[in-house]
Amino acid sequence: MTATTPSPTFTTQFDTSNQEFLAAGVFRPRSIADIADDLRLLRDGMELVKGVFYVNLKRVTHMNSTAFHALTRVLVDASRSRPELQIVVVVSSVVTWATQMFRHLSELSPNITMEIYDSAFYPGQTFVENQSFIPILRTQTKMTWRHEREILPRHGLRSGMAIADICCGIGDFAMLVRKEFNPARIVALDHSVASLEYARSVADKFCVRDIEYTFGDASQMLFESDQFDFVTCRHSLQIFDRPELLLRELYRICKPGGRVYITNEKNSHCLGEPRADSIQWTYTEVAKLFRHFDMDVEIGPKGSRLLRDAGFEDVKIESFMVTNLDGDPQEFADIIQAWEDVYAGEMAVKRGDSPEFIKRFRQGFADHIFSALHPRGYAGWPIWATSGRKPL
């Protein structure tokens, strides 16, 4: 059962199956009377459940002291009258005031706890947000851009559009899109503070003021629905353990008739000549390693199905191969070296792989670099670009 009490800027719901009270929006009542229905919904919800009760405030962007005191009073009263009930207040690190405000609740009552859900909310976060990746992301985008600048118009990107690049990383793709496609508005969102700082410093250096770099959680965005003509999300669905949640948000913020464009890899199809067998073995193992951390780096060709399942129509899919021959082969080699450092140097170690495995695993990367730099060699990294239209 789900109950809803809407007000212009604020909504509350009670979700019986998840034992969860969800609030969203701007919570700034003038008096307690303004939020009497919401508080009743909270109280009634708590009376219905046993065990753990969740108060989900991830999408509350603002809260005044009237709301805060009224809410905490209801929670503290309930925790005292029902000491067996565990109350978990879930906030997001994206909304910085919330963690500060609710942190003290457990001092008032030991059976109320606060969780910051996005401090560790996808399994590969520590690897993906690893700062050593920053320079290499730049090289990767430079190499994929040679292909994507021609691919993007086939997927509907035109000048003058409102564009959002979700999971923008260090923001270089947004920068290139801005230059090439002259958007009316461009927003770039990521959850890595280090990447965004880097993005902002580059923009500053180049006197670029019109890219809206935004800190946020892509699976719970604070953007209004139906905002953007073109939404991009590159190399990121593959690192989420539940890509469908992210797709639902991309769909939501896209305008009806607009398009969502995603790129993803299929790592086991990375290839090289000579030393093809060793290279293939290592990249098949890369896919298994990511799986271990609940990430699917084989998503590329599944893009068409994913977009259709998410409700998109007119789905277009194509693949392209970044190769050592696209530009300076050393750049290709640098990318592979960075992958080896993180995959073999950190992830395999964390999984507890043996030194013998890691040695063979590293050899495949070394051979990929060898093939990239060999005067008669060929090395490839395949990528799938998929887009779909949100129905009118």
Residue 234 or 275: the one with the smaller Cβ distance to ligand SAM is 234
Out of 148, 217, 265, 296, which residue is the one contacting ligand SAM (CB under 6 A)?
Answer: 217
The nearest distance, CB 211 to ligand SAM, in angstroms, is 14
The nearest distance, CB 233 to ligand SAM, in angstroms, is 7
169 binds ligand SAM (CB under 6 A): yes
Selected range binding ligand SAM among 13-21, 165-173, 295-303, 348-356, rule: CB under 6 A? 165-173
198 binds ligand SAM (CB under 6 A): no
Q: How many CB atoms lie within 10 A of CB 11?
A: 16
141 binds ligand SAM (CB under 6 A): yes
Cα separation, 363 vs 282, in Å, equals 8
213 binds ligand SAM (CB under 6 A): no
Residue 122 or 181: the one with the smaller Cβ distance to ligand SAM is 122
Q: Quickly list H helices, 243-352.
A: 243-253, 276-292, 303-309, 329-342, 348-351
Cα separation, 208 vs 201, in Å, equals 10
CB 70 within 8 A of CB 94: no
253 binds ligand SAM (CB under 6 A): no
Residue 37 or 180: the one with the smaller Cβ distance to ligand SAM is 180
Which residue do the tokens 């893009």 mark? Answer: 303
Residue 269 or 275: the one with the smaller Cβ distance to ligand SAM is 269
Amino acid at 244: E
Which DSSP state fits 131? G
Out of 38, 190, 285, 340, which residue is the one contacting ligand SAM (CB under 6 A)?
Answer: 190
Selected range binding ligand SAM among 151-159, 162-170, 293-301, 321-329, rule: CB under 6 A? 162-170
Out of 128, 161, 260, 270, which residue is the one contacting ligand SAM (CB under 6 A)?
Answer: 128
CB 86 within 8 A of CB 75: no
Residue nearest to ligand SAM (CB): 169
CB 217 within 8 A of CB 98: no
195 binds ligand SAM (CB under 6 A): yes
Cα separation, 370 vs 375, in Å, equals 10
How are beta strands 254-265 and 313-323 bridged, if at all? unpaired
Cα separation, 169 vs 218, in Å, equals 12
234 binds ligand SAM (CB under 6 A): yes
Residue 35 or 254: the one with the smaller Cβ distance to ligand SAM is 254
129 binds ligand SAM (CB under 6 A): yes
Selected range binding ligand SAM among 79-87, 214-222, 301-309, 378-386, rule: CB under 6 A? 214-222
Q: Which of residues 86-105 bind ligand SAM (CB under 6 A)?
A: none
The separation between CA 153 and the C-alpha centre of its own chain, rounded to angstroms, equals 24
Sheet holding 10-15, edge to edge: 2-6, 10-15, 20-27, 52-63, 86-91, 112-116
285 binds ligand SAM (CB under 6 A): no
- Which of 217, 251, 223, 188 is CA-nearest to residue 25? 223
Amino acid at 225: S
- Which of 235, 237, 232 is CA-nearest to residue 258? 232
265 binds ligand SAM (CB under 6 A): no
Q: Which two tokens stand for residue 376?
A: 């008669």
267 binds ligand SAM (CB under 6 A): no
Sign of torsion over alpha carbons 179, 212, 295, 357: positive
How many chain residues are in contact with ligand SAM, going by CB under 6 A? 20
191 binds ligand SAM (CB under 6 A): yes
Out of 98, 143, 167, 186, which residue is the one contacting ligand SAM (CB under 6 A)?
Answer: 167
The separation between CA 205 and the C-alpha centre of its own chain, rounded to angstroms, equals 26
What residues line the site for ligand SAM (CB under 6 A)? Answer: 122, 128-129, 137, 140-141, 167-169, 190-192, 195, 217-219, 234-236, 239
